[in-house]
Amino acid sequence: MMAMQAVILSAGEGTRMRPLTYTRPKVMLPIANKPILQHLIENLARAGVDEIVLVVGYKEETVRKYFGDEFNGVKIRYVRQKKQLGTAHALLSAEHVLEDRFLMLNGDAIVFEDDLKKLVKEESGIAVFEVPNPQDFGVVEVVDGNVSRIIEKPEKPKSRLINAGVYAFTKEIMDYVRNTPISVRGEYEVTDSITMAVSNGFEFKAVEIERWIDVGYPWDMLKANEELLANLESKIDGKIEENVTIKGEVIVEEGSLIMSGSYIVGPVIIGKNCRIGPNCYIRPYTSIGNNCHIGNAVEVKNSIIMGNTKIPHFNYIGDSIVGENCNFGAGTKIANLRLDEKEVTVNVKGKVINTGLRKFGAVIGDNVKTGINASINVGAFIGNDVFIGPGAVVSGVVEPNSRIY
C-alpha cells in the first residue's frame, strides 16, 4: 500500500468533557486503558499511514511527552495551533508540512483500520456514517456518490448520513482553506472550505464507513469503553492468587496482583502494577489504569478508573469515570440510579442535558480525596483537587479546588 500522511486535529480542550479536561486535552482521555488519540494512531498505522502530523495546542506537553517523535513505527510531527479558531485554521497551521495527498482527522473520534484503508485509496473523499440522530451533527447530502453539501445540525435532515470528520485531501484544498470566511459560530471551518471547493467543481467521494466512535460527552466514554472492550481477548501477565474467580475475557497486565477472594467478570482490563482485592467484585466493561488499588469489599461496575487511584475498602463505583491520583475514604459510594428510575440529567456548561441513561454515576477529576462514608449522587461532576469530607453528600457540579464538609 502506498505510504500516506495523516493530519490529526488535537489542539482543543474539549470543554464539554470537563472536569476531565481541566488537566489533559480531550484526545488524551483513556478508553480501554489507552488515550483516544492512541487508538486512532494505531489504526492509522495499520491502514498504511507512515507519518502523522499532530496539530496541538491546549496542554500540548501531555501529547508530546506521551507520543514522542515516533510511535508504533509511525513518524510523529507536531504543529502548534496557538489559538483554537476552527478546523480550517488548524489545517492552515500545518500547511508548511503537508504532502500532496493526506488524510485529515478529528482527534476525538475513533475510526478503524478497514474504514481508514477505504479513505487512503481515495484522492479526495469524505467519510460519512449513518446515525439515528443526524440533527445533532453535520448532515451530508450525496449526489451520484459525491458530497454535494454538508449542513450543520439541520432541524429537518434530508439524510441520516453525517460527516465523520475524516477527509482524504489533495494539497489543492489549501487554496480554499486560506480563503474560508469566519462562520456563524465564530470559527474557520473546513466544511466551509469543502463547500467552496464543491461549488468550484471539485468532487469529494462520499465514503461510507462501518464503525465510528464519537466522544462528545463524558458518558460517551463509557459507551466507547464498552464497544472497545467487547472484542477483548484474555491475557494474564500478572499474578493471580488462589481462590480468585475470573469469568469472561480479562486482561491483567504485568506487575499486577489479584488477591484471594476477588471475583472478576469480563470484559475487564486491569493495567500494570495494580493491587486488586482481597474480596472485591469487578463487573463487566470496567477499565482500571496502572498503579491502582481496588481493595476489600469494593465493587466496581462499568467504569473507567484512571491511573494511580486508590479505592481501598467498602466502596461502590458504578457507571462512573474516576480521574488520576484519587483516593476514596472507606465507605465512599457513588449512586448510579435515580430513585424514580428516570434517565439521569447532568449540568454541562450551564445547560441541563439528558444523558439518555438510566444508570449513570459520577465524573470525577484528578486528585480528588474523599473522607469516610462520603456519598456522591447520580450525575455529579466533581472538579480536580477537590476534598470531600467525612459523611458529606455531593450533588451537581463541584468546581476544582473546592472543599466540601
For residues 154 and 135, the answer to whether their CB atoms sit within 8 Å is yes
Nearest 10 degrees: Cα torsion 5, 9, 11, 17: -140
Reading the block at residue 379, the C-alpha cell is: 450525575
The beta-carbon contacts of 190-194 under 8 Å, at least 24 apart in sequence, are: 190/86, 190/87, 190/88, 190/91, 190/104, 191/87, 191/138, 191/150, 191/152, 191/163, 192/88, 193/88, 193/91, 194/126, 194/147, 194/150, 194/167
The beta-carbon contacts of 356-360 under 8 Å, at least 24 apart in sequence, are: 357/219, 357/319, 359/302, 359/318, 359/319, 360/219, 360/222, 360/319, 360/320, 360/336
Reading the block at residue 393, the C-alpha cell is: 453528600
Cis check for the bond before 284: say yes or no (omega within 30 of 0).
Answer: no
For residues 202 and 124, the answer to whether their CB atoms sit within 8 Å is yes
Reading the block at residue 82, the C-alpha cell is: 496557538
* Marked catalytic residue, from 39, 89, 293, 313: 313
> For this structure, is 39 an active site residue?
no
Which residue has 493530519 as its cell numbers? 7
Phi, psi torsion values for 27, nearest 5 degrees: -65, -15
What CA–CA distance (Å, rounded) separates 60 from 22? Answer: 13
What CA–CA distance (Å, rounded) separates 84 from 61? Answer: 16
Evaluated on CA atoms 120, 97, 170, 2, the torsion sign reads negative
Catalytic positions are 313
